Structure 1
Amino acid sequence: MRAVKWRIGFGARLLFAQALVILAGGITLLVVALGLAPGIFREHVENAVGPMTSEMAAHLDMAFSQAILLSLAVAIAVATLTALAVGWFVSRRAVRPLRGLAEAAGAVASGDYSVRVPRSGDGTELDSLADAFGQMASSLARTEKSRAEVLRDLSHELRTPLSTVRGYHEAIADGILPADRATFERIDAEISRIERLVDDVGRVSSAEERGLDLHFKDVAVGDLLRVAARAEALAFEAKGVRLTLGPDASTRSITVDTDRIQEVLANLLENALRHTPAGGLVEMSARSVAQGVAITVKDSGDGIAAEYLPRVFERFYRVDDGRSRGAGGTGIGLAIARALTEAHGGHIRAESAGAGKGTSFFVTLPARGPDRDCP
C-alpha cells in the first residue's frame, strides 16, 4: 500500500516559518535576559543598599529570575499569538494571487489564452508577475493564431499545384492529353512550385527559430547592393523596369552573412519588380544610421494601402489580386526577408503613400553581428 504524502501549501509553510522566527527570537531573548539581567540587577541593589549577605543575594537572584522568566513567557506567548494572527492574514493575502495565477496557468495549459490575472495590489512583485503572465498569454494567443493561419494557408497553397498535377495525371491517363515533353514540362513546373514553397517555409521557420548557421564577415555595403543589382539585372531588363543604385554608403562596412543578406535583397527586389509595371523605376540605396546601416528598396509600383502595411511580412499574406499566385510569388518572400534580417539583429519595415503610389522597404542592420564572433 502506497504511503500517503502530505502536501503542505505555501501559506502553511509561510506561517510555520514565521512561528519558527518568533520561537527562535523568544528563546534567544530568554537566554540573554537570564544570563545578564540578574547580575546587573544585583549590582544596582548593592550600589543602593550596600553589601548583602550571600543568602539575600541568592534570594534576590531567584526572585528576579522568576519574575523575568514569567514576564518573558507571557510576553512571548502573547507576541506569538499576535504574530501568528497577523501572519495568517498576510499569508492569505500572499497566497490568494498565487492561487489565482496557478489556476490561470492551468487554463492556459488547457488552451484558454483569454484568461488573465488581475493585479492584486499586494506588492509590485506580484503585480509585475500578473502583468508578465498577461503578456505571455497574449503572446501565446498570437502564436497559436499564427500557427493555425500558417497551416490553413499552407494547405491552401499546396492544394492548387497538387490539383493541377492530379488533373494532368488524369488527363494523360484518360488520353485527353498526350504524354509528350510539353505536358511533362508543365507538370514539372507545378512540382517545382511545390518544392519552392516547401523550401521557403523551411527557410523562414529556421530563421525565425534562430536555427540558421550564419557565417559572419565584414563587407562593404556598396558591394552588397551592387551584387544584388547585377543578379536581378536581366529580370528587370526583360520586364522593362529600370533598376538604379542611389547612395550606397560605400565607405561603411558591416558584419553580416553575405549570402543571407543577398537573399533578403533578392526577395525585396523580386517583390518590387513583381509589382512595378513596365516603364517603372526601382531604386536601391543605403545610408549610415546610428545603429549601423539602413538599406532602402523603393519602387514606383502598385503601392500598399495603410491598413495592409502591418501584415505584408506575414507568411502567405497577399494584399490583393495584384499580389496573387499568378504573379509568380509564394507569398512568403517578405516573411523570409524579415526573418533573416531579425536573425542579424536588425529590423525591416515598409512604407507606402497608398495604392498606386509605390512602396519603400527599409532594412536596418547593425554594424556588428548579434553577439557573434567574426572569422
Structure 2
Amino acid sequence: MGPITTELATHLDMAFSRAILVSLSVAIIVAALTALAVGSFVSRRAVRPLRELSEAAGAVASGDYAVRVARSGYGAELDALADAFEQMARSISRTERSRAEVLRDLSHELRTPLSTVRGYHEAIADGVLPADRATFERIDAEISRIERLVDDVGRVSSAEERGLDLHVREIAVGDLLRVAARAEALAFDAKGVRLTLRPGSDSRPVLVDPDRMQEVLANLLRNALRHTPSGGHVELSARSVGEAIEITVRDSGDGIAAEHLPRVFERFYRVDDGRARGEGGSGIGLAIARALTEAHGGHIRAHSIGPGTGASFVVTLPVGRLDRSGR
C-alpha cells in the first residue's frame, strides 16, 4: 500500500472504531434479547406449576377436595411438591368423608334410644304405661346406652388424636390375658360359649398401660362373644414373633366376608347392622381397640376365611423393657 499518510491512518482508525461499536451493539442487543427469551421461557416453566398448585390450594381451602395436581415434569423438586400436594388433598378428602360419616352415624345411633325415651315419656304422660319402677328402669337403660355411646366416641377420638394419658409399665402378657379372661368369664358362661386361655410360654414383658390394654382385650372378647352362638368356642392366646408379641382372639362364630374385612375397625361399621344393634353393639368397640393399640405403638388386624368360618383378631405389641430411670 505504500506509506500510510496521516489522513489514511485517521480514516482507518475511524473505520475500526465504527466496526467495533457496531459489533458490540449487535452483540449486546442479541445477548439481551436471548436473555429475555430464555428468562421468560424458564420463568413460565417454573411459575406455571406453582400457579397451578396455588390455584389448587385455593380450591381445597374453599372445600373442593376433589381437585388434583398432575406432575409437571419440570424437575424433581416440582414433581415432589405436586406429589406431596396430591397426598395432602387425598388425606383431607378422606378425613372430611370420615367426619361426615361419623356425624351421620352418630346421629343415627343417638336417634334410636332418644326415640325410645320419648316414646316412654309420651306413653307415661298419656297413661298408657304406668309410672312404676319397671318403666323407669327401661328408660334408665336407654339413657345409659346414650351415655355409653358418647363415652365410646370420646375415648376413640382421644386415642386417635394421641390425647390419652398412658401410664405405661412392664407387665407379662400372661397376666394381661388372665385378667381379661377372668373379667369376661361370667358373660361367656351365661351364653354357653367356651373361653379357652393359652397365654403362651414367652415370659418377656410388654410396655403397656394395663388398664387401656384390658379395654382392648375386653372389646375383642365381647365382639367375639356377640358373634359366637351358644355352644361355640373362643380362644385367647399369645405368642412371640421376633421382637413383638401377638395376642389373638379367635372365635368359631359368624365369620367375616372378604369385602368387610378392610372396614371392620371403622367407627359405627357393622358387618350385620340389624343383628349387632339388636344385641346392643354400638359398632365402635373395634375402633376403640385399634386406636388404643396404635397409641401403644402396636397394630391390630382381622382375619376370616368367610361367613360361618369364625374370625381372628390379632393385636401385635412391641416387646420392651424400662430402663433404670423407669422410661
- TM-score with structure 2 setting the length: 0.88
- Residue among 168, 171, 182 paired with 1:230: 182
Find the counterpart in structure 2 of residue 185 from structure 1.
137
Query: Partner amino acid for 2:227?
Result: H
Query: Partner amino acid for 2:316?
Result: T
Query: Partner amino acid for 1:107?
Result: A
Find the counterpart in structure 1 of residue 276 from structure 2.
324
Query: Partner amino acid for 2:313?
Result: F
Cα deviation 1:128-171 (Å, max 9, x = unaligned): 11111111111111111111111111001000100000011111
Task: Tell me, yes or no, if structure 1 residue 246 matches structure 2 residue 198.
Answer: yes
Find the counterpart in structure 2 of residue 82 from structure 1.
34
- After the TM superposition, which residues 1-375 of structure 1 pair with which residues of structure 2 at under 5 Å, given as runs? 79=31, 81-321=33-273, 323-368=275-320, 374-375=326-327
Distance in 2 (alpha carbons) for counterparts of 1:273 and 1:245: 14
Distance in 2 (alpha carbons) for counterparts of 1:75 and 1:293: 76
Kindly state the Cα deviation for residue 81 of structure 1 after the two structures are TM-superposed. Answer: 4.7
> Does the residue aligned with 2:85 lie in a helix, a strand or coil?
helix
Q: Cα RMSD between the aligned structures?
A: 2.2
> Does the residue aligned with 2:171 lie in a helix, a strand or coil?
strand
Find the counterpart in structure 2 of residue 42 from structure 1.
none
Which consecutive unaligned segments of at least 5 residues does structure 2 have?
A: 1-19
In structure 2, relative to structure 1, the CA distance for the partners of 1:69 and 1:344 (3 Å cut) is farther
> Does the residue aligned with 1:248 lie in a helix, a strand or coil?
coil
**Contact 1:275–1:323 (CA<8 Å) still a contact in 2?**
no
Kindly state the Cα deviation for residue 75 of structure 1 after the two structures are TM-superposed. Answer: 6.6
**Contact 2:177–2:199 (CA<8 Å) still a contact in 1?**
no
Percent identity reads 81
Distance in 2 (alpha carbons) for counterparts of 1:71 and 1:261: 84
Query: Partner amino acid for 1:165?
Result: V
**Contact 2:173–2:199 (CA<8 Å) still a contact in 1?**
no
Find the counterpart in structure 2 of residue 62 from structure 1.
none
Distance in 1 (alpha carbons) for counterparts of 2:314 and 2:217: 11
> Does the residue aligned with 2:141 lie in a helix, a strand or coil?
helix
Kindly state the Cα deviation for residue 74 of structure 1 after the two structures are TM-superposed. Answer: 8.2
Larger radius of gyration: 1
Distance in 2 (alpha carbons) for counterparts of 1:70 and 1:242: 103
**Contact 1:221–1:249 (CA<8 Å) still a contact in 2?**
no
Distance in 1 (alpha carbons) for counterparts of 2:317 and 2:143: 36
Kindly state the Cα deviation for residue 344 of structure 1 after the two structures are TM-superposed. Answer: 1.1
> Does the residue aligned with 2:260 lie in a helix, a strand or coil?
helix
Cα deviation 1:95-114 (Å, max 9, x = unaligned): 00000000011111111111
Distance in 1 (alpha carbons) for counterparts of 2:76 and 2:201: 48
Distance in 2 (alpha carbons) for counterparts of 1:103 and 1:353: 47
In structure 2, relative to structure 1, the CA distance for the partners of 1:73 and 1:223 (3 Å cut) is farther
In structure 2, relative to structure 1, the CA distance for the partners of 1:329 and 1:314 (3 Å cut) is same
**Contact 1:225–1:248 (CA<8 Å) still a contact in 2?**
no
> Does the residue aligned with 2:207 lie in a helix, a strand or coil?
strand
Which consecutive unaligned segments of at least 5 residues does structure 1 have?
A: 1-67
In structure 2, relative to structure 1, the CA distance for the partners of 1:136 and 1:249 (3 Å cut) is farther
Cα deviation 1:216-262 (Å, max 9, x = unaligned): 11111111111111111111111111111124354121111111111
- TM-score with structure 1 setting the length: 0.77
Cα deviation 1:18-71 (Å, max 9, x = unaligned): xxxxxxxxxxxxxxxxxxxxxxxxxxxxxxxxxxxxxxxxxxxxxxxxxx9999
In structure 2, relative to structure 1, the CA distance for the partners of 1:210 and 1:71 (3 Å cut) is farther
In structure 2, relative to structure 1, the CA distance for the partners of 1:86 and 1:154 (3 Å cut) is same
Distance in 1 (alpha carbons) for counterparts of 2:260 and 2:234: 21
In structure 2, relative to structure 1, the CA distance for the partners of 1:233 and 1:174 (3 Å cut) is same
Greater percentage in helix:
1
Cα deviation 1:279-325 (Å, max 9, x = unaligned): 11100111112341111100000101111111111111111146421
In structure 2, relative to structure 1, the CA distance for the partners of 1:322 and 1:301 (3 Å cut) is farther
Kindly state the Cα deviation for residue 117 of structure 1 after the two structures are TM-superposed. Answer: 0.5
In structure 2, relative to structure 1, the CA distance for the partners of 1:91 and 1:196 (3 Å cut) is same
Find the counterpart in structure 2 of residue 64 from structure 1.
none
Distance in 1 (alpha carbons) for counterparts of 2:79 and 2:246: 39
Distance in 2 (alpha carbons) for counterparts of 1:256 and 1:220: 10
